Amino acid sequence: MPELPEVEAVRRMLRPVMEGARFERVELRRPDLRAPFPRRFAERLQGRTVLAMDRRAKYLLAELSSGDTLVMHLGMSGSFRVGFGGDDPGDGAHDHVVFCMSSGATVTFNDPRRFGSMQLLSPSQRSRHRTLAALGPEPLSGDFDAAVLAARCRGRKTSLKAALSDQCVVSGLGNIYVCEVLHRAGLSPRRRAASMATRTGAPREAAHRLAVAIKKVIAGAVARVTRRRDEPGMDYDGDRFRVYGREGRRCLRSRCPGIVRRIVQGGRSTFYCPVCQR
């Protein structure tokens, strides 16, 4: 499933052709994705202008001139493709939504497994949206730091890996990048999340290391994926990761003799070095 860096790369790809542009035609090639499209979906979009193309965690948010918000999620296999002047190569079979914009761009949503979603929320619906309202701080925002992280982890008896995977603690982090940030910070995925804060709630030294690691890993991944000229996709190249997918191989931390191990936490694979991550 695409994680925050991949979704942010998609946002940056769509922004130049959608922000400030009007939906001239909206074509739905099936009645649903993961869930049915909202009633009058195409009608409510056509003629509206995209005022801003934003992102919240793994959700793409198109703020519309009508006051509604188009909320899009890529699911497991969803992707967007942008074409101009009828130049829109693709497989066709899994092209489920087509946006024809006044910018001259044709924006096509392709989703072979149909786990993606599109919702159209009025202002009142958005304020009551349980998932969006419950999301934790954005890891790349200026407001996110060790103090915020410690406050979110304070009193949690779960593992640090489980806490960071919880979208209420930090939004947008998925299994791959949680493994990577824990390795960069030198912290065990088994460590209790509550250990990030003192009894008074102040951030411990480990929380400072972890907050810095989160920002560096995510910012680096966003830059790497965005640099691609083709359609942004998952950053699955194993050579780009320091622990993820490297079970049985030497730890890449300088002078560390450890061998990367794989364990299962919460039904997901966790990769870490038992020597340098404590």
Active centre residues (catalytic): 2-3, 58, 268
Q: Which residue has the tokens 């593992």?
A: 159
Instruction: Please give the helix or strand (H or E) that residue 171 lies within, else none.
Output: none
Task: Report which of 236, 160, 237, 226 is spatially closest to residue 191, judged by C-alpha positions.
Answer: 160
Residue pair 254/274 in contact (Cβ under 8 Å)? The answer is no
In the block, residue with structure tokens 């934790």: 136
CA distance 270 to 119: 32
The amino acid that residue 112 corresponds to is: P
Instruction: Give CA–CA dist 95/122, Å, rounded.
Output: 26
State the Cα–Cα distance between residues 83 and 43, nearest whole angstrom.
23
Are the CB atoms for 115 and 265 separated by under 8 Å? no
> Which stretch of DSSP H or E encloses residue 275?
none
Tokens of 27: 């074509």
First to last CA, the chain: 28
Q: Please tell me the distance from the alpha carbon of residue 255 to that of residue 183, in angstroms, as a whole number.
A: 14
